[in-house]
């Protein structure tokens, strides 16, 4: 027999696709030809595979070898195909009977010594294999726990090509994925450690309940970072579908913690203000790495000292925030990553960042305006909640920590989200922050005139924009949901105005 076929999986963005690796060995001048749209890494695969085969004690066939990766139209990146190529080659040369590998998808990178190394994106790859009806996969031992997360799959790990050869030839065992049944540790900071900051805590709770983007503006020491870091702790646990999406993105980035379990808590990403555009939205050679906005998918993206970020970096966030996904245009085929994150910005009120706040600031009024204006166009427009925080006072700091814990607040947040989801189900939406302005202003959700009187007066006098008007209404719905009422009243509108503009604090 001089032909063999082995199953593997390729990745485009976060989508896996079954790939068939064909090997044909013919008499003629010895050499290897790879076809099927391979990238440079695949050409390097030829040299890696040859060394790995020889160093695993197998005979390298001195024949004319043609390798073909199907479908040809699918862009293929990286080193995931190494192991499948080696197996197809040994099968084609008659060295290895491939019957035990029939219907098995094989993933893994080979080292020159024949060791099998972990690859990025195993979770979405084996999930795709399962969807395509494959029920057995062989993966690098370092990725076995991650692959075992996908239900209905028999997963086995390999640490070397030699082990796989022994399995096929002599039925020697492969490595079983580790069983991890320890309860998930609840980690991360808790709201109970935040002293004072009544307005900030309230803003955080409203942001969590309505899915509103949030800007925290205040001097250093006002607790902006402390608050932002605690937003995930009051958000609901991810459901199965969301957990799989989030875990897949972290898998593609190669950032999945060992132990291999689904990420169940909303992620938190805080890129530094010197972050480049690719590190924020994704990019890089070969299989594109998801950026911070995608790693924060279904969680929180925190930009501390937001005005210090480069203009292109802030600009690059506009599209993902609008559409909930990032489209990376690449030389060969684009990659798309989900990017539905809740944005939290923190900013000092002015460039001098004087901890005492306004009273000792020497910045000219124009400089202060320019500083926050850096955020205006692309981002502030999309942010419902803009809160001005004051420096913490000694009395607040000394107060015994009798504050609600994240768990207590999370219960109210979950109830409010449920009420909103039920109300907006007819529109196919779940969160107050997602409701288009026209729906808020029309029956059956239009608020009675007496409730919005103050708001309409502000609109008429020009102190509030039409967009600002809609944002206040959205926040008012969230405030009413948190309070367990079916419709916002005048008081809710007044609080929403405070949270929107910082007035009245
Ligand atoms: Zn200043």
Rg (CA), the chain: 28
pLDDT for res 157? 97
Q: Which of 158-162, 302-306, 380-384, 468-472 has the lowest mean pLDDT?
A: 380-384
Distance 357 CA to ligand 1 centre (A): 8
List the one residue out of 261, 234, 264 whose CA is nearest residue 342.
234
Mean pLDDT to the nearest integer, 49-53: 95
Distance 344 CA to ligand 1 centre (A): 22
**Is the model's pLDDT at 185 over the cut of 80?**
no
Distance 393 CA to ligand 1 centre (A): 20
Contact between 328 and 335 (Cβ < 8 Å):
yes
Distance 227 CA to ligand 1 centre (A): 23
Mean pLDDT to the nearest integer, 119-127: 95
Distance 353 CA to ligand 1 centre (A): 6
Distance 221 CA to ligand 1 centre (A): 15
Region of 428 on the Ramachandran plot (φ > 0 left; ψ -120 to 50 alpha; else beta): left
Distance 387 CA to ligand 1 centre (A): 18
**Is the model's pLDDT at 401 over the cut of 60?**
no
Distance CA 391, CA 183 (A): 39
**Is the model's pLDDT at 503 over the cut of 60?**
no
Distance 373 CA to ligand 1 centre (A): 15
pLDDT for res 200? 92
The answer to whether the peptide bond before residue 22 is cis (omega within 30 degrees of 0) is no
**CA 187 to centroid of chain Cα atoms:** 19
pLDDT for res 277? 93
pLDDT for res 287? 80
Distance 223 CA to ligand 1 centre (A): 18
Q: Indicate the pairing of strand 136-140 with strand 385-388.
A: unpaired
Distance CA 406, CA 350 (A): 31
Q: Which of 16-30, 33-47, 131-145, 452-466 has the lowest mean pLDDT?
A: 33-47
Distance 374 CA to ligand 1 centre (A): 15
Q: Which of 249-263, 367-381, 448-462 has the lowest mean pLDDT?
A: 367-381
Tokens of 1: 């027999």
Distance CA 303, CA 348 (A): 12
Distance 70 CA to ligand 1 centre (A): 61
**Is the model's pLDDT at 377 over the cut of 70?**
no
Buried b / exposed e along 182-200 (16+ C-beta atoms within 10 A): eeeeeeeebbbebbbbebb
Distance 375 CA to ligand 1 centre (A): 17
pLDDT for res 453? 93
Q: How confident is the model at residue 375 (pLDDT cuts 50, 70, 90)?
A: confident
Q: How confident is the model at residue 333 (pLDDT cuts 50, 70, 90)?
A: low
Mean pLDDT to the nearest integer, 228-253: 94
Kind and range of the H or E element at 6? strand 3-12
Residues 6+ apart with CB under 8 A from 195: 392, 396, 397, 399, 401, 403
Tokens of 365: 């009024």
**Is the model's pLDDT at 231 over the cut of 90?**
yes
Q: How confident is the model at residue 450 (pLDDT cuts 50, 70, 90)?
A: very high
Distance 195 CA to ligand 1 centre (A): 25
Task: Report which of residues 488 and 219 the model is more confident about.
Answer: 488
Distance CA 90, CA 96 (A): 6
Distance CA 331, CA 173 (A): 42
For 324, other C-beta atoms within 10 Å of its C-beta total 13
**Is the model's pLDDT at 222 over the cut of 90?**
no
Distance 222 CA to ligand 1 centre (A): 15
Distance 305 CA to ligand 1 centre (A): 14
**Is the model's pLDDT at 127 over the cut of 80?**
yes
Distance 308 CA to ligand 1 centre (A): 15
Mean pLDDT to the nearest integer, 379-399: 77
Mean pLDDT to the nearest integer, 235-259: 91
In percent, the amount of the chain with pLDDT more than 70 equals: 92
Q: How confident is the model at residue 332 (pLDDT cuts 50, 70, 90)?
A: low
Contact between 131 and 85 (Cβ < 8 Å):
no
pLDDT for res 367? 82
State the helix-helix crossing angle for 466-482 and 449-461, rounded to 10 degrees: 150
Distance 448 CA to ligand 1 centre (A): 43
Distance 362 CA to ligand 1 centre (A): 5
pLDDT for res 505? 37
Alpha helix (H) residue ranges in 211-239: 224-229, 231-234
**Is the model's pLDDT at 87 over the cut of 50?**
yes
**Is the model's pLDDT at 299 over the cut of 90?**
yes
Distance 498 CA to ligand 1 centre (A): 24
Tokens of 366: 């124009």
* DSSP secondary structure code for residue 382 in this structure: G
Task: Report which of residues 155 and 32 the model is more confident about.
Answer: 155
SS3 state of residue 2:
coil
Mean pLDDT to the nearest integer, 388-402: 68
Distance 370 CA to ligand 1 centre (A): 12
Look over the chain and give the mean of its residue pLDDT values, rounded to a whole number: 89
**CA 51 to centroid of chain Cα atoms:** 37
Instruction: Return the C-alpha torsion angle 370, 375, 378, 382, nearest 10.
Output: -130
* DSSP secondary structure code for residue 303 in this structure: E
Distance 300 CA to ligand 1 centre (A): 29
Distance 355 CA to ligand 1 centre (A): 9
Distance 504 CA to ligand 1 centre (A): 22
State the helix-helix crossing angle for 82-92 and 40-55, rounded to 10 degrees: 60
- Which runs of E-coded beta strand occur in 29-151? 31-35, 64-70, 104-106, 109-110, 116-117, 136-140
Distance 364 CA to ligand 1 centre (A): 8
Q: How confident is the model at residue 504 (pLDDT cuts 50, 70, 90)?
A: very low
pLDDT for res 368? 79
SS3 state of residue 37:
coil
Highest mean pLDDT among 38-42, 113-117, 251-255: 113-117
Distance 304 CA to ligand 1 centre (A): 17
Distance 409 CA to ligand 1 centre (A): 35
Distance CA 15, CA 11 (A): 6
**Is the model's pLDDT at 60 over the cut of 50?**
yes
Q: How confident is the model at residue 325 (pLDDT cuts 50, 70, 90)?
A: very high
Highest mean pLDDT among 45-49, 68-72, 230-234, 237-241: 230-234
Distance 358 CA to ligand 1 centre (A): 7
């Amino acid at each position: 027999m001089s032909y063999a076929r082995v199953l593997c999986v390729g990745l485009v963005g976060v989508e896996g696709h079954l790939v068939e690796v064909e090997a044909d060995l013919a008499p003629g001048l010895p050499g290897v030809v790879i076809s099927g749209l391979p990238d440079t890494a695949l050409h390097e695969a030829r040299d890696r595979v040859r060394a790995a085969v020889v160093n695993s004690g197998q005979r390298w066939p001195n024949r004319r070898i043609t390798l073909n990766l199907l479908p040809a139209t699918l862009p293929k990146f990286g080193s995931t195909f190494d192991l499948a190529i080696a197996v197809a080659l040994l099968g084609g040369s008659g060295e290895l009977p491939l019957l035990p590998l029939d219907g098995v998808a094989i993933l893994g990178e080979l080292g020159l010594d024949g060791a099998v190394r972990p690859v990025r994106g195993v979770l979405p790859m084996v999930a795709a294999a399962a969807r395509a009806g494959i029920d057995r996969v062989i993966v690098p031992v370092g990725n076995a726990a991650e692959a075992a997360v996908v239900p209905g799959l028999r997963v086995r790990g390999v640490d070397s090509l030699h082990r796989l050869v022994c399995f096929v030839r002599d039925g020697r065992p492969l490595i079983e994925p580790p069983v991890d049944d320890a309860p998930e540790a609840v980690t991360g900071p808790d709201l109970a450690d935040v002293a004072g900051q009544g307005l900030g805590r309230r803003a955080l709770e409203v942001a969590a309940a309505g899915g509103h983007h949030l800007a925290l503006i205040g001097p250093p020491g006002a607790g902006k970072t402390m608050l932002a870091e605690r937003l995930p702790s009051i958000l609901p646990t991810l459901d199965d579908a969301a957990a799989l999406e989030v875990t897949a993105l972290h898998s593609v980035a190669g950032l999945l913690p060992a132990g291999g379990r689904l990420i169940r808590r909303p992620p938190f990403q805080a890129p530094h203000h010197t972050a480049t555009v690719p590190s924020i939205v994704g990019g890089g050679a070969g299989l594109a790495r998801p950026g911070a906005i995608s790693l924060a998918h279904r969680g929180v993206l925190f930009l501390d000292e937001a005005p210090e970020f480069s203009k292109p970096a802030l600009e690059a966030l506009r599209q993902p925030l609008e559409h909930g996904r990032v489209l990376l245009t690449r030389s060969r085929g684009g990659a798309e990553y989900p990017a539905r994150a809740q944005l939290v910005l923190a900013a000092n009120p002015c460039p001098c960042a004087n901890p005492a706040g306004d009273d000792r600031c020497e910045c000219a009024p124009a400089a202060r305006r320019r500083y926050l204006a850096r955020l205006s166009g692309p981002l502030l427009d999309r942010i419902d909640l803009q809160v001005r925080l004051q420096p913490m006072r000694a009395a607040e700091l000394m107060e015994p920590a009798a504050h609600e814990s994240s768990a207590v607040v999370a219960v109210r947040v979950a109830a409010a989200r449920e009420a909103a989801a039920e109300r907006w189900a007819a529109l196919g939406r779940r969160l107050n922050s997602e409701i288009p302005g026209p729906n808020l202003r029309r029956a059956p959700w239009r608020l009675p005139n007496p409730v919005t009187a103050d708001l309409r007066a502000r609109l008429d006098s020009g102190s509030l924009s039409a967009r600002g008007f809609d944002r206040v209404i959205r926040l008012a719905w969230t405030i009413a949901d948190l309070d367990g009422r079916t419709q916002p009243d005048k008081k809710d509108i007044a609080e929403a105005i405070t949270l929107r503009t910082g007035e009245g604090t």
